[in-house]
Structure 1
Amino acid sequence: MPAGTPSRPRIELIADEEHPGGTMLVMDDVRQSYVDIDDPTYLDFEYIQYFASVLATLPDGPLAVTHIGGGALTMPRYLQASRPGSPQIVLEPDTELTQLVRSRLPLPREHRIRIRPLDGRAGVSGLADASADVVVLDAYADGRVPASLTTLEFFTDVSRVLKADGLFLANLVDEPGLRYLGRVLAGLRAVFGDLAMVSSNDVLKGRRFGNVVLAASAGPLDVAELRRQIARQPFPAGVRDRRQLAVRHGSARPWTDAECAPSPEPVRDGWRIR
């Protein structure tokens, strides 16, 4: 390997001996995705459950969804099972990962999932205006969200791709204090009309490093219904609405293409994607 060339992550697909049909995708010892090939509606990670809770606030029926980041294709499989007929685009630049996942964990018959070997910025820029009901950001490199996927310019392009009442969902991480997320929220606030944040109570209270799900839309989010959905989660979690987020993070400046940074370095010994 030439000097300066980044090494490929070590990828493993590990069967869950305690849950028949379950498989964990692990990349460089970090739990990245979980799939139940027999029941795609079984969601193991907490943040994926939050995604599902937000989607449950939308009207029934198929959704046109673009996923930024593929992993083991957990959410595309979930949507195919829970909203059959949903046309989905997955932007995943790692073709070797995609090949491994599709060979070991094949997609169901008659799916409408199309995987494109593109990164988030390039993939979104090539999408048509108002072509998606939902855009989902769940992309990591070395355990960090790439800087280019949380800028004001990127969010503006995402809003172009979304329909008038479309929804943007993002799985991000931050450390106590949530300073990184404050700047992400500033960018979203400049582009979208409504925002909400979902996470475990200990992350929201700044007690530990962890995952946070952000929801944004040009129109109003059904925060009351989202709170009802989150109250059903097996572990304590909370929802912060736009007003609450403005009180805490209203003075933050958005990340831009000229000034941006990846999400904070994960705590390797104490954090795994939840």
Structure 2
Amino acid sequence: MPRRDRPRRAAFAHLGPLDTPIPISTGTAALTLETDGSVLLDVNGVPSSHLHPDPEHLVFEYMRWMLLVIDRHLAELPGPDASGAASSPPAPAPHLAHLGGGGCSLPRAIAARHPRSRQIVVEIDELLAHQVREWFDLPRSPQLRLRVEDALGALTSWREKRFDVLVRDVFSGAVTPPELTTAETAAHADRVLRDGGIYLANCAAPPGSGLMADEVATLSTVFPHVGVIAEPAHLSGKRRGNCILLASRRPLPEGIDRDLRSDAVSVRLARRPQVEALARAGRVLHSR
């Protein structure tokens, strides 16, 4: 449905206090109400999530890119039998997992766009997890379940072939915890994904750090198909930004780069030679 034809959504009715520190398990959070009714959530002084009254409207660019890939991937999964034949078993609901929750902007958007989906969000901060469900009226389980746990602990505990999509969006301050960027972690991501499942990781790489290349090299030791979504200046290492790393045992969904061209930001899916060059330049990261 074109955005201009969507019904207007009511603003959030159960927000906590605005523009003031709110105690959470790991420190403090802050809520800022924008003129369009959206809310910016800061966690320990760092922007964590931006939630709009329309759940499908994602303000953070990298989340829009993730949703675009997820839309493409879920479209390739078996869907409900259009014939409605009673003898046909129903198609299984897509299962998605998110390492890192914050305000649950992306899971909320997926729940609105793919109501059959089943999602689990892992958030280490217990108070924040309870508060964001109330503040932003998040869908309830089984559509969206919140699990309070360390991300790596949850990942290693999950059984094999459980999820169609696994998202990593975990930060300690402005960086991803190193233990979540290793080849061992990538192997666990591969283990919990169903055949043809896709792993999406938010990578914030400072210029000159080589982090993007290191992560591409590391993922390439586990997954035969690795991609990078980034702005050109970020891809060339000229400035900091969020890029999205994609990894799968099957070719990445077609049409991603074409869809990206409609985004407000000039962003592209890196060409295969660029990805291969990053993999050669990077170091494979291992757990200590």
TM-score above 0.5, yes or no: yes
Shift of the alpha carbon at 1:110? 7.0
Aligned residues: 248
1:135 and 2:153 aligned: no
Q: Deviations over 1:6-64 (max 9, x none)?
A: x94321122112x12x111112332110112x311000011001101211322435521
Larger Rg: 2
What one-letter code is carried by the residue in structure 2 that aligns with 1:195? V
Q: What is the TM-score normalised by the length of structure 2?
A: 0.81
SS at match of 2:230: strand
CA distance in 2 between counterparts of 1:202 and 1:115 reads 36
Aligned to 2:85: none
What one-letter code is carried by the residue in structure 2 that aligns with 1:190? T
Q: CA RMSD in A?
A: 1.7
Higher relative contact order (CA 8 A, sep 6+): 1
CA distance in 1 between counterparts of 2:223 and 2:272 reads 11
Which one of 14, 19, 24 corresponds to residue 40 of structure 2? 24
Aligned to 1:10: 28
1:47 and 2:65 aligned: no
Say if 1:195 and 1:215, in contact at 8 Å, map to a contact too. yes
1:246 and 2:264 aligned: no
Q: What is the TM-score normalised by the length of structure 1?
A: 0.85
CA distance in 2 between counterparts of 1:252 and 1:195 reads 14
CA distance in 2 between counterparts of 1:77 and 1:235 reads 22
Shift in CA distance, 107/179, structure 1 to aligned 2, threshold 3 Å: same
Q: Deviations over 1:216-259 (max 9, x none)?
A: 1011113x51110111111211211443211233142211002x
Q: Deviations over 1:149-199 (max 9, x none)?
A: 010001101100001100000111112245112111111001011011011
Which one of 84, 92, 98 corresponds to residue 123 of structure 2? 92
Kindly, what percent of the aligned residue pairs are identical? 29
Aligned to 1:195: 226
CA distance in 2 between counterparts of 1:205 and 1:9 reads 35
1:33 and 2:14 aligned: no
Say if 1:132 and 1:162, in contact at 8 Å, map to a contact too. yes
Say if 1:204 and 1:238, in contact at 8 Å, map to a contact too. no
Aligned to 1:146: 177
**Which runs of 4 or more aligned residues in structure 1 lie more than 4 Å from their structure 2 counterparts after TM superposition?**
none
Moved more, 22-31 or 187-196: 22-31
